[in-house]
Amino acid sequence: MTKLSLGAHPYMLGFEQLERLLERSAKSGNEGYPPFNIEQTSDNSYRITLAVAGFGEGDLSVTVEDRQLVIRGRQRDEADDRIFLHRGIAARQFHRSFVLADGVEVGAAIMENGLLHIDLTRAEPEKVVQTIRIEKGQTS
């Protein structure tokens, strides 16, 4: 049995970019940290919530890069003058990315009680009906 890719399906024309986005998303290297939720807050809006306890606003960056929402966290290790008898909370960094569909825009990013909330909205696409005129071909 041959594997049929999305771009090679005879009824799916022009979806090569979507296939590349899916491949890039699968290879993005997202590990399990930090844990996150994605919730639908209305018909056209979503909220991504990441558990980022220990990170301050200055330790986090939220960017949109080539239709990907990218969240990065980098904690500063300020333990130079402290002596730990046990260190179970490590200063670590993370990189988490989400592929955004066309029409999805990133709104506010809100930090609250160790949770980073990122609001997304999806614009309602216009319904367009286009009539294509059929021309008579020339015979030779």
* Token pair listed for 57: 């606003």
Domains of the chain: 33-77+88-123 (2.60.40.790)
Of 70, 73, 69, which Cα lies nearest the Cα of 51?
A: 73
DSSP 28: S
Contacts of residue 46, defined as CB under 8 A and 6 or more positions apart, other chains included, come to 38, 39, 40, 104, 119, 120, 121, 122
Q: The pTM is what? A: 0.70
Q: Read off the pLDDT of residues 24-56 as tens digits, 9 standing for 90 and up.
A: 666 655 568 899 999 999 999 999 999 998 899
Q: Read off the pLDDT of residues 93-118 as tens digits, 9 standing for 90 and up.
A: 999 999 898 889 999 999 999 999 99
Which residue would you say has higher pLDDT here, 83 or 42?
Answer: 42
Interior CA angle at 116 toward 114 and 117, to 5°?
135
What mean pLDDT is predicted for residues 124-139? 87
Per DSSP, the residues of 85-96 read S---S---EEEE
Query: In sequence order, which ranges of the chain are alpha helices (DSSP H)?
Result: 16-26
pLDDT at residue 89, rounded to an integer: 76
Which residue would you say has higher pLDDT here, 2 or 67?
Answer: 67
pLDDT at residue 84, rounded to an integer: 82
Which residue would you say has higher pLDDT here, 1 or 32?
Answer: 32
In angstroms, the CA 97 to CA 103 distance is 17
